[in-house]
Structure 1
Amino acid sequence: MMRIVLFLATNLAILLIASITLSLFGFNGFMAANGVDLQLDQLLVFCAVFGFAGSIISLFLSKWMAKKGTGTQIISQPRTRHEQWLLQTVEELSRQAGIKMPEVGIFPAYESNAFATGWNKNDALVAVSQGLLERFSPEEVKAVLAHEIGHVANGDMVTLALIQGVVNTFVMFFAKIIGNFVDKVIFKTEEGNGPAFYIADIAAQLVLGILASTIVMWFSRKREFKADEAGARLAGTGSMIAALQRLKSEQGVPVHMPESLTAFGINGGLKQGIKSLFMSHPPLDVRIEALRQRG
Structure 2
Amino acid sequence: MDPIIFLIQCLNAIQYGLLLFLVASGLTLIFGIMGIINLAHGSFYMIGAYMAFALQPLISQYAGESFVLTLLACVALAAILGYFLEWAFYSYLYHRDHLQQVLMTFGLILVFEELRSLLVGNDVHGVPIPAWLQGSISLADVMTYPIYRLFISVVCIIVAGLLYWVLTRTRLGMMIRAGASNREMINSLGIDINRLFRIVFAMGVALAALAGAIAAPVSSVYPGMGQSVLIICFVVVVIGGIGSIRGAFLAAMLVGFVDTFGQILFPAAAGVLVYLLMAAILLFKPEGLFKQG
State the TM-score bracket (shorter-chain normalisation).
under 0.3
Structure 2-normalised TM-score?
0.25
Structure 1-normalised TM-score?
0.25
Please identify which structure carries the higher helix content: 2
Please identify which structure carries the higher strand content: 1
